[in-house]
Amino acid sequence: MKAVVLVAPGDVQVLTVPDPEIIDPGDAIVAVRESAICGADLFPFHGFTPGFENGTVLGHEFVGEVVAVGAGVRHIQTGQRVVATSTISDGDCDHCVAGRPSQCLSRSLFGYSGVYPRLDGGQAEFVRVPAADRVLMALDDRVSDEAAVFLADVLPTGYGAIQRAGTRLGDVVAVVGCGPVGLMAVLCATRLASRVIAVDTIPARRDLAESLGATAVAPEDSLELVNEFTRGLGADVVAEAAGSVGGLTLALGLVRGRGVVSVVGAHFEPDYPLDNGHMFEREVSLVFTIGDPFNDRGRLLDLMVSGVIDPTVVVSHRMPLSEAADAYALFDAREATKVILTCSS
């Protein structure tokens, strides 16, 4: 089959590789229809993922059709249209039993190796899905492939930014960083908030955020706007989706006393200079979240089926699998907000 392979850091190629096969009785094989490129794919692309194996098939956001299931699969059936969670979980470890699958002790991320055990991803014609009964969710006909791709990762992550912060109807919410995850946070926040302040340096991303219902602003003007909307108190919730030192510092400055800064941007700095005096005086909560597609995708699917939210507004490019190398280049250059690769031949 054709698959998007990271041959070496910076070198994405579409290669012919062996078709995946069922290894464990709980596996399923999915014929991929659409797959997306995520910001997290850029870490191995840039060689930032320790131990990443060259040759790994990329991609953890995909929708497709089940074409085979192992003997131990009880519910998922061939012919079903499905979406997978970006990370797999076993359902049996202490974290899973306690309802925290994103912290599963044996988690792997599709399209990754090194930091987790290797698990070839879904930017390919076919993908092997372990623990298929847990990992896959059957889709409602009323939701398109392109919309459903967002259920794998970025939409639950954006939702998690808002939900884990305890956001309440009427709160003022700021979102720092309007890439795909940040825009998903905006999308969810606009349902709850009296005001959503979307902060980004890129005018096109601010325009997108405005189209979703936010008031968008450049970073340097964000504090003034938050103060205007909150009588100087600060935002109830600030979602940080920039994944940068500057983004986090800005976020911490926008939040009110006893407010929550909810981080969904990927951060790896070992020594971010946290202003503990500010944290203490304001009694701030700083909550990091990877996202929990397993627990949250059902309600997000319901919100898409009923038309309340439509994540596809952030799709900027739709390209065939064969053009994956170009797609990565565009996405890396921030010329694309979200790229969907069409995988079925």
Q: Binding residues for a second copy, per CB under 8 A?
A: 25, 72, 74-75, 91-92, 94-95, 97-100, 102-103, 133, 159, 162-163, 168-172, 188, 191-195, 231, 233, 248, 256-258, 263, 266-277, 279-290, 295, 298-300, 302-303, 305-306, 308
Cβ 186 to a second copy shortest distance, Å: 14
Q: Which is nearer to a second copy, 4 or 185 (CB)?
A: 185
Whichever of 2 and 297 has its CB closer to a second copy, that residue is: 297
Nearer CB in complex with a second copy: 248/340: 248
How many other CB atoms are found less than 10 A from the CB of residue 243? 21
Measured between alpha carbons, how far is 170 from 191 in angstroms, rounded to an integer? 9
* H or E element, residue 250: helix 245-254
Strand-pair category, 108-109 with 172-176: unpaired
Tokens of 105: 């002790």
To a second copy, the closest distance from the beta carbon of 42 in angstroms equals 15
Six-digit token string for 224: 């003034």
CB of 181 to a second copy, least distance (A): 13
Please say which residue, 233 or 319, places its beta carbon nearer to a second copy. 233
- The Cα 13–Cα 333 span in angstroms is 18
List the structure tokens of 233. 């108190």
Q: Closest Cα partner for 129 from 64, 199, 47?
A: 64
SS3 sequence, 73-104? CCCCCCCCEEEECCEECCCCCHHHHCCCHHHC
What's the maximum distance between 2 C-alpha atoms anywhere in the chain? Answer: 61
Closest CA to 175 of 266, 239, 233, 230: 239
Q: In whole angstroms, how close is the CB of 169 to a second copy at the nearest point?
A: 6
- Residue 324 CB, nearest distance to a second copy (Å)? 27
Nearer to a second copy (CB atom), residue 33 or residue 297: 297
Q: How far is the CB of 5 from a second copy (least distance, A)?
A: 26
Looking at the Cβ atoms of 2 and 256, the one nearer to a second copy is 256
Residues 104 and 37: their CA atoms lie apart, in Å, by 24
CB of 202 to a second copy, least distance (A): 23
Residue with Cβ nearer a second copy (172 or 178):
172
